[in-house]
Structure 1
Amino acid sequence: MHNKRGDGQLFTIQTLNNIAQCGLNVFDEENFTIDNDSQNPDAIVLRSFNMHDMEIGDNVKAVARAGAGVNNIPVSDYTERGIVVFNTPGANANAVKELVLTSLMASSRNVFAGIAWTRDLQGQGDQIPKLVEAGKKQFVGKEIKGKTLGVIGLGAVGALVANDALDLDMDVIGFDPFISVDTAWNLSRNVQRAMTIEQLFANSDYITVHVPLTDNTKGMFNEKAFDIMKEGVHILNFSRGELVNEQDMAVALESGKVGKYITDFPNENVLKMKNAVPIPHLGASTKESEENCAIMASRQVKDFLETGNIRNSVNMPNASIPYTGKRRVTVYHRNIPNMVGQITSALSDYSLNIADMVNRSRGDYAYTMIDIDNKVNGDVIPGLKEKIGQIEGVVTIRVI
């Protein structure tokens, strides 16, 4: 089989969390083996396992996160080693969207606080109905219809939230300076565009955030931001807890400047906050979401190991050529001048013709795939890997 390694062994996959079986089924037994005790697998599939203190072998070619966030993976270290890191953007988007909208409505109607209060009536017997009627006035809420929802980050989740909020008769303002073309096509034209984040802060009754944690976004919800917002604004955070300055949030909640803070990332600070709604990280916790993420992560790993194609990598450029069964050379290298020329020159020294080629760069690194037109017996062209590997700037090379 063309997708087996040159030494005849199977590709070995290690999992670091319980990965849905439907995802593992992607790896056919003829060409893959799942070995969670392997010390040096070809690829690793995980969910939230912390890899920062984990040593991995030199044979590891890919790490796939069955989810969107990759904070649990030392991405920069793996980039320097030539290990491709995948995630699964959009696979859990519907699950997160549903919980955002559920929390938006439930918190606006004080459902969470009302349920907690009602449970405390246990033991009151026949008096409970009367107590409920007398006490419900303290939980009077507000309807979301006609209110303005600000959506920060219009990626897979944010776009779904924005579109569905429109269907709930909300006005929606979106802010995302890095919106992709694909997302723009999927976003309703009725979503108003905020030119600045301050404009969104000032005009929103509810704000939901869907951006990654970076140096620029860390603590973006702070005293300065709260000062711009409407009195009693509700803030929903299903992205990362660190996006919020918790000290400033506690003050804003106490004063009523922020009416509610709904977060999927509770900690000791959050649990002490007045009018905080702590949700135990349930955003992607659905059977469907876990299965979608597992299947997507596994397919990306399988495709990369078998063909060298890269899709949905967080540290390497996406690159793809339809696989026709020809010998393929993949090279991960520094993004410096004349790299492609040196690689093709090495192929020429072996009298190998190029049938197809793609070169994509991302930051300081680039990825080159070359299909060879010649009929070559076996998986390995003797000496080719060594010759290309001698080129200064080459990090990894595979012959498929």
Structure 2
Amino acid sequence: MLSINTYNAISKSGLSLIEDDLNYHLNGNGDPDGLLVRSKNLHDFKFPSSVKAVARAGAGVNNIPIDYCTEQGIVVFNTPGANANAVKELVLANLIASSRNLYSAVGWTETLKGSRDEDVPGLVEARKKEFVGSEIKGKKLGVVGLGAIGVLVANDALSLGMEVVAYDPFISVDAAWRLSQDVQRAHQLEEVWSECDFVTLHIPLTEKTTGFVNEEGFQKMKKGMKILNFSRGELVEEEALKNALDAGVVGKYVTDFPNKNVLSMKNVIPVPHLGASTVESEENCAVMATKQLKTYLETGNIKHAVNLPDVELPYSGKMRVTVMHQNIPNMVSQIATVLSGYSVNIADMINRSKNNWAYTMIDSDQKLPEEEQNDVKRKLKSIDGVVSVRLI
């Protein structure tokens, strides 16, 4: 029986996939085969040696020590696209709200609660001109990053009558197929900064993207630009942002990641990290993460791992061997040599790599006795560069 431990509040829709499966034990006392998490910080977590995979019910994996997990042979999954619609809707809502000064207007109107009933209509009519905004129709929106969310935002902004230009030098084939042909392509980021009335960020936070929007970018921006950041706060260099807001280069900054420093700046619209906070999104993420975790534990197939490539092979034999290893020469031949020593006939195999790591999966049309299986695992694990071996 396989065991999965959960952390944080996981949607019932995801938990039921484990609870209703007689082959699984949920939150048992023994060592778990997999972990299912949302926001729990695992950087100081003591991983049991039994853990084979971690599934994050969400897209961001900043709370998971990816490098450590990889070195220990632990596959880390996330759920890209599961919360995409929720984030897209919030981006579009704030696109309109920031343009129409909606939050400021509503905030002022609430101050009238202490006024006399007969005075409120007159006060509203007298002061409403202070909150005159502009329509988004006909304005130019720059979408930086064309992942699952960026594509949805770009396509729906077109439907709202906006002119949309997108920048993503690493757009995937799947995203390209889903993107409307009416979205203009920016070949350089400077085109987005200099031409757009709004910019929305949809790129992951990495060492290379930290401070992605910085002083150099602000100097090239169209004056009065509104920036929406529903990806990660660290993408924007805060001191440069403050200067740009004070100078009017940035008209408004809408962020889903407020902190004390950003809250002190003018013309900031702070949203309390609501991007994926919908019932539907939490259910989608939980179901997707649970299915990925179970599929890997049961078949060795990998889909949407952050530290390994997608590797999927229909089961075609009686025994499956999976090996997670460094992406270095001669690994596959060494694995095959070990198997040939036990007269294992290879029925099918696949090898894929991602950066410095690779994953090899081999199906055999024969199943070895348990004692020989243990020998095979031990010998494969002794190969320099191999971090994980499983026989399924």
So what's the TM-score if we normalise by structure 2?
A: 0.97
Q: Return the letter of the residue paired with 2:150.
A: G
Q: Which moved more, 1:212-221 or 1:201-210?
A: 212-221
Partner of 2:62: 71
Q: How does 1:342-381 map to 2 (within 5 A)?
A: 342-376=334-368, 381=373
Q: Residues 242, 146 of structure 1: CA spacing in aligned structure 2 closer, same or farther, 3 A cutoff?
A: same
RMSD, aligned α-carbons: 1.4
The one of 150, 154, 158 equivalent to 1:158 is 150
Q: Residues 380, 350 of structure 1: CA spacing in aligned structure 2 closer, same or farther, 3 A cutoff?
A: closer
Judge conservation of contact 2:245–2:252 (CA < 8 Å) in 1: yes
Structure 1 residue 324: Cα displacement: 4.3
Structure 1 residue 320: Cα displacement: 0.8
Partner of 1:124: 115
Q: Return the letter of the residue paired with 1:115.
A: V
1:241 aligned to 2:233?
Answer: yes
Q: Quick one: distance in 2 between partners of 1:263 and 1:337?
A: 45
Partner of 2:286: 294
Structure 1 residue 380: Cα displacement: 6.9
1:21 aligned to 2:8?
Answer: no
Q: Residues 363, 379 of structure 1: CA spacing in aligned structure 2 closer, same or farther, 3 A cutoff?
A: farther
Q: Structure 2: which 5+ runs fail to align?
A: none
1:56 aligned to 2:51?
Answer: no
Q: Quick one: distance in 2 between partners of 1:105 and 1:23?
A: 34
Partner of 1:209: 201
Partner of 1:284: 276
- Aligned-partner SS, 2:113: coil
Q: Which moved more, 1:283-292 or 1:355-364?
A: 355-364
- Aligned-partner SS, 2:141: strand
Partner of 1:272: 264
Q: Quick one: distance in 1 between partners of 2:209 and 2:327?
A: 28
Structure 1 residue 216: Cα displacement: 2.1
The one of 211, 222, 225 equivalent to 1:219 is 211
Superimposed CA distance per residue, residues 296-339 of structure 1 (whole angstroms, 9 cap, x where no aligned partner): 00000000000000100000121111124621010111222211
Q: Return the letter of the residue paired with 1:374.
A: Q
Partner of 2:105: 114
The one of 247, 257, 277 equivalent to 1:255 is 247
Judge conservation of contact 2:316–2:347 (CA < 8 Å) in 1: no
The one of 184, 190, 202 equivalent to 2:182 is 190
Q: Quick one: distance in 1 between partners of 2:62 and 2:132?
A: 39
Q: Structure 1: which 5+ runs fail to align?
A: 1-9
Q: Quick one: distance in 1 between partners of 2:111 and 2:219?
A: 36
Q: Which moved more, 1:280-289 or 1:356-365?
A: 356-365
So what's the TM-score if we normalise by structure 1?
A: 0.95
Partner of 1:331: 323
The one of 78, 81, 90 equivalent to 1:90 is 81
Q: Which moved more, 1:320-329 or 1:134-143?
A: 320-329
Q: Quick one: distance in 2 between partners of 1:186 and 1:78?
A: 33
Aligned length: 390
